[in-house]
Amino acid sequence: MTRPRRLPPSYQLDYHPVMNNEKIAKHLSQLADLLEFTGANSFRLRAYRNGARIIKELPDSIASMIEADQDLTNLDGIGKGVAEKCQELVNSGRLKQLDEILESVPKTVLDLLNVPKLGPKKCAALFNELGIQSLDQLKAACEAQQVRLLSGFGAKTEEAILQGIAIAVLANERILWADADKIAQDLGAHMSSCSAIRQTKFAGSYRRGKETVGDLDLLVDSDDSETVMDHFGKYEEITSVIVRGETKMSVRLEDEFQVDLRVVPEESFGAALQYFTGSKDHNVLVRGRAKQMGLKVNEWGVFEVNDSDERRIAGQSELEVYESLDLPYFPPEIREARRELDWAKNNELPELIELGDIRGDLHMHTTATDGKASIEEMADAAIAIGLSYIAITDHSQRVSMANGLTPERLLDQWKTIDRINANRPDGFAILKGIECDILESGGMDLPDEVLAQGDFIIASVHYGQNQSRQQITDRITGALENPHVSMIAHPTGRLLNKREAYEVDIEAVFQAAKANQKMVELNANPIRLDLNDIHLLAAKTHGIPVVINTDAHRTLGLSNMRFGIKQARRGCLSAADVANTLPLADFIKMLDR
């Protein structure tokens, strides 16, 4: 059985959540989806969706603006209807209209909207014609080949829906690491004001940096568990308490996300942190090593085991735990029982990359296509965070929905970049680039004589992602053989919790990249994180330079680099494995090769 969808807390309890911009945008988007599901006026849908997009990107707090009696309709794209909905959400934490819809539509229908390529209209057809109102029912109908019989569906659509159900289930169970990080930062700030706490740490898959997180494990070092749990219970996002014991308390936050609090004594804090960070397989290796040494490791410490008693020899810190086993400290990101113990045995544990190692960002978009900032604004934002160079890489003409650049427009943009570089006194460099589509039939979207005039040419797949494994592989390897291409962007095309990777022979891609001395991207957008950690370790093994890029479409998007760094660390990458840790002159030499 699939897990019930996490619903906003305002539809679970008589609970008034703090309405930040992201939550307001989420409510408006959900209202638009359910209105479309019920066949409402398309103009209203567009207004709500456009309002949600604007509010999500707005740097100012909508709640603060309402509190200051500011007129929201003065914001571009925000009309009277959206402004009224924002007012209602901020004042009551609910939308009456959304409540009314959910009285007539089963809440489980919202699960269907998480299935890729299954929009509100198709969901409505499934609900109205087949009575489908849950993922389990949808799966059964697809397997019985009932869905293909509906008008506008067909066998291929039915198969795609069946494949997408797994993604929808996962989206109900796990959230993006970036979203878990927002919760952890906010909850951590709340807990920091409790005087009974000596130290706090988050553990589990969140600490290891897994790209999606199922729940949060919070460890607290304190001798006063009652005070700690009382303080924890006052966190404003808690919608329900699952259980509360003497030293453990589990709660649900909005969207049914679970947080488990454990209060441990100081002498066991390191052992508990090591144990609950995991991974399970890493801990099996650690316990096995302890057993060989006549020791025992658990969440309370490391113990010498004698016939009649046990003596604690370590546990206050993780470093102490590992040192007691003659092991080095393992960064949490690599505790996956892959190669870490072998590296430790051979004194080859990699020094993992840090955010401060990055010198440049080589994938970003401007207002010339689908970005929200100018070339100069992106450059100034990059300088502000300490970068030395960037590449402007707007879309090529094939991506018409993003106003992709024709050869003429691209060459004009590059002339503009030359002028900007010539007039900059600070030594910061803007490379002339393009994210050039690899056409469905193979080959590049722009002529070679145009690409030859650029500094950094990205090749990427946006269309034809349902092609066969061989077709997509041939397209990518063909692009890598093009002498003007520098790098393959987001090589597998996945979108976490939304779209599976397309079929591609990644080993063949790596071989082509190695043979042609090309780079591969780790796209730091938290919904992509493409390549994944296993692929990154393979690229490292092949000696293929990785470039960590933000794919930023606005200045704030440059901050996504830290998500890419977290993923790179899971892939065991050092600064030497990442091309854009190089100073500009050395990076240019790499390009020239």
Predicted confidence band of residue 18 (pLDDT cuts 50, 70, 90): low
Residue 1 domain-assigned (yes or no)? no
pLDDT in tens, 198-228: 999 999 999 999 999 999 999 999 999 999 9
498-551 pLDDT, tens digit per residue, is 888 999 999 999 999 999 999 999 999 999 999 999 999 999 999 999 999 999
- pLDDT at residue number 342: 93
Candidates 580, 470, 475; CA nearest to 522 is 580
The CATH number that applies at residue 50 is 1.10.150.110
Share the mean pLDDT of the chain.
Answer: 91
Cα–Cα dist 555/504, whole Å: 32
Please say if the pLDDT value at position 337 is more than 90.
Answer: yes
Residue at which a domain ends, from 248, 264, 280? 264
Residue 2 maps to a domain: no
Q: What pLDDT score does 332 carry?
A: 98
- Return the pLDDT at 416: 97
Structural domain range at position 196: 175-264
DSSP state of 352: B
350: in domain:
no
**What's the rounded Cα separation, in Å, for the pair 216 and 257?**
8
What's the confidence (pLDDT) of residue 256?
Answer: 78
Residues 88 and 223 in one domain: no
Tell me which of 48-52, 333-337, 418-422 is least confident. Answer: 48-52
CATH number, domain containing residue 371: 3.20.20.140
pTM of structure = 0.85
480-492: average pLDDT: 97
Query: Do residues 19 and 124 both lie within one domain?
Result: yes
338 shares its domain with 277: yes
Span 310-331, average pLDDT: 95
**Structural domain includes residue 243:** yes
Q: Look at residue 13 in the predicted model and tell me its pLDDT.
A: 30
Q: How far apart are the C-alpha atoms of 267 and 383, rounded to whole Å?
A: 45
> DSSP of 378-409, one letter per residue?
HHHHHHHTT-SEEEE--BBTT-GGGTPBPHHH
- State whether 145 and 204 are in the same domain: no
Handedness of CA 22, 24, 30, 35 (dihedral sign): negative
The percent of residues above 70 in pLDDT, for the chain, comes to 97
Range name among 136-140, 411-415, 446-450 with the lowest pLDDT average:
136-140
Beta strands 389-392 and 360-361, pairing class: parallel
456 vs 391: CA distance, rounded Å: 7
Q: Is the pLDDT of residue 61 over 80?
A: yes
Same domain, 426 and 567: yes
Q: Following DSSP, what letter does each residue of 21-53 receive, concatenated?
A: HHHHHHHHHHHHHHHHHTT--HHHHHHHHHHHH
- Exposure b/e, 28-46, CB count within 10 A at least 16 = b: bbbbbbbbbbeebeeebbe
Residue 3 lies in a domain: no
Q: Same domain for 95 and 233?
A: no
Same-domain status, 155 and 187: no
Neighbouring-strand partners of residue 95: none
Q: Is residue 391 part of a domain?
A: yes
CATH number at residue 253: 3.30.460.10
Tokens of 253: 């936050």
d(CA 427, CA 424): 7
Name which of 57-61, 230-234, 370-374, 466-470 the model is least confident about: 57-61
More confident residue, 3 or 190: 190
The pLDDT score that the predictor gives to residue 193 is 96
pLDDT(142) > 80: yes
Cα distance between residue 74 and residue 54, in whole Å:
13
Last residue of a domain, one of 140, 173, 206: 173
Contact criterion met (CB below 8 Å) for 440 and 398 = no
By the 10 Å C-beta count (0-12 exposed, 13-18 middle, 19+ buried), 384 is classed as: exposed
Q: What's residue 479's pLDDT?
A: 97
Q: Which two tokens stand for residue 560?
A: 């996504």
Q: Tell me, rounded to whole angstroms, the distance of Cα 549 from its chain centroid.
A: 13
> Does 5 score more than 90 pLDDT?
no
- Both tokens of 266, joined, read 């100081």
Look up tokens 């590449």; give the residue.
391
> Do 229 and 91 share a domain, yes or no?
no
**71 and 182 assigned to the same domain:** no
Here the tokens at position 258 are: 């679970």
Average pLDDT over residues 357-381: 96
Q: What is the mean pLDDT of residues 255-274?
A: 94
Q: Does residue 1 register a pLDDT over 60?
A: no
Q: Tell me, what's the pLDDT at 103?
A: 81
Query: Which of 95-104, 227-236, 450-459, 558-567 shows the lowest per-residue confidence on average (mean pLDDT)?
Result: 95-104
Residue that terminates a domain, selected from 282, 316, 345: 345
The single-letter DSSP state of residue 369 is T
* Domain containing residue 337: CATH number: 3.30.210.10
**Count of Cβ atoms closer than 10 Å to residue 566 Cβ:** 23
String of DSSP letters for 547-563: EEE--BSSGGGGGGHHH
The percentage of residues in the chain with a pLDDT greater than 90, rounded to a whole number, is: 70
Cα–Cα distance measured from residue 315 to residue 222, given in angstroms and rounded to the nearest whole number: 15
Q: Do 279 and 249 reside in the same domain of the chain?
A: no
Q: Could you give the CA distance from residue 24 to residue 498 in angstroms, rounded to a whole number?
A: 21
Query: How many folded domains does the chain comprise?
Result: 4
Angle at the Cα of 116 (from 113 to 122), degrees rounded to 5? 55
User: Which of 452, 430, 312 minimizes the C-alpha distance to 381?
Assistant: 430
Q: Which residues contact 226 (CB under 8 A, 6 or more apart)?
A: none
| Token pair recorded at residue 180 | 């878990």
What pLDDT shows up at residue 44?
Answer: 79
If asked whether residues 328 and 467 sit together in one domain, one would say no
Are residues 401 and 493 both part of a single domain? yes
Residue 340 lies in a domain: yes
Contacts of 297 (CB under 8 A, 6+ apart): 271, 275, 286, 287, 290, 303, 321, 325
CA distance 352 to 572: 6
Looking at residue 425, what is its pLDDT? 76
Q: Which of 221, 222, 225 is nearest to 244 (CA)?
A: 225
Candidates 121, 128, 127, 113; CA nearest to 164 is: 113
Cis before 559 (ω within 30):
no
pLDDT band at residue 288, thresholds of 50, 70 and 90? very high
Mean pLDDT of 184-207: 97
pLDDT band at 45 (very low <50, low <70, confident <90, very high): confident
Size (the chain), residues: 593
Query: pLDDT tier at 30 (50, 70, 90 boundaries)?
Result: confident
Give domain status of residue 126, yes or no: yes
Choose among 406, 395, 471, 466: nearest CA to 433. 395
Strand order through the sheet with 199-202: 199-202, 215-221, 258-264, 248-253, 238-244
Distances (CA, A) of 550 to 141, 218, 437: 40, 29, 18
Over 80: is that where the pLDDT of 10 sits? no
pLDDT of residue 15: 38
